[in-house]
Amino acid sequence: MSVPVLELRDVTFRRDGREILRGIDLTVRAGEHWAMLGPNGAGKSTVLGFCGALAHPTSGTVEVLGRRLGRVELQALRRDIGHVNPRHPIRGEESVRDVVFTGLTGTIERPIRWQPTPEQAAEADELIAEVGLTARRDAVWPTMSQGERGRALIARALIAHPRLMLLDEPTTGLDVAAREQLLETIDDLAHSAPEVASILVTHHLEELPESTTHALVIAHGAVVAAGPADEVVTTEIISHAFEHPITVTKEDGRWSARAVRERRTAGAR
Ligand code: ADP
Ligand code: MG
């Protein structure tokens, strides 16, 4: 088996006397595409924050791309990770292009004296076209819709040619066509860059791309199940994690979930 791109061992996170995560174990290898599923507040974004070298856990170890958090500078690690984070803290008037360029610098804002090479500028424009933002290339962050921001952040992640892609609810705010386009972009990436590993967070099974290979299900800050997607994304495990009877089906490579309706017994009507 290939070397792990990411390894979390017994990761715990406490804040204000509350245990937000406990005993999280996860190994992601090159070429694997993980889905992270779980109800709101389960701790998905917090787990992704460690994977993306945004924060340190309270205890346990996190190794990203062969480097241990706590022993290396977080900023340096971040340049090798494409993290699409809905809480991306842009405060200024960055344009779409500026946002994409910050994928190369590993920063939130474009450094004042930093200039792209002509090749980098051309690649940025290509990626902007790929995510369908060419007409909005010079739009600035405060005027962008949620969907446009999400797509800009995906182009930002891709320009760094990361070995690890982290996508935190990337389809939030997209209409159905834009969502499908985005899922296609993610599937294409699985083919064009087969060594890249990814983790996609969602609470909608319909948003899992066909390229999904593995799944991690968490609830209340702990792992419910982890492993090959077909063994984990099941009626039983999803119902347990979401504390609600849900029927999971898979058709043409895509999953869907439906709440189980209480059936009237035959003859009752
Ligand atoms: P999810 O992404 O699964 O919806 P989060 O990881 O965002 O869940 O949050 C899990 C829980 O941890 C939530 O109750 C959230 O309020 C809390 N939490 C996350 N980060 C912090 C923090 N830095 N300080 C305090 N509470 C936090
Ligand atoms: Mg979240």
Domains of the chain, start order: 1-80+162-269 (3.40.50.300), 92-161 (no CATH)
Query: Which of 36, 46, 84 is the best mutation target for the ligand 1 pocket, counting ligand atoms within 8 Å of the beta carbon and taking the most?
Result: 46
CB hemisphere CA count around 176 (13 angstroms) = 1
Q: Looking at residues 85-104, what average pLDDT do you find?
A: 90
Measured from CB, residues less than 6 Å from any atom of ligand 1 are 15-16, 20, 38, 40-46
pLDDT band (50, 70, 90) for residue 265: low
> What are 88's strand-pairing partners?
none
Rounded Cα gap, residues 192 and 197, in angstroms: 12
User: Residues 188, 161: contact at Cβ < 8 Å?
Assistant: no
Q: Which residue lies with its CA nearest to atom 14 of ligand 1?
A: 41
Give residue 70's identity as a one-letter amino acid code: G
221 Cα–ligand 1 center, Å: 9
111-143 residue pLDDT tens: 889 999 999 999 999 999 988 899 999 999 999
* Of residues 215, 207, 211, 202, the one with CA closest to residue 256: 207
What pLDDT is stored for residue 222 in this prediction? 98
- How far apart are the two ends of the chain, measured CA to CA in Å? 57
Which ligand has an atom closest to residue 169 CA?
2
What pLDDT is stored for residue 267 in this prediction? 53
171 Cα–ligand 2 center, Å: 12
| Cα–chain center distance at 99 | 18
SS (H, E, C) 62-83: EEECCEEECCECHHHHHCCEEE
pLDDT band (50, 70, 90) for residue 183: confident
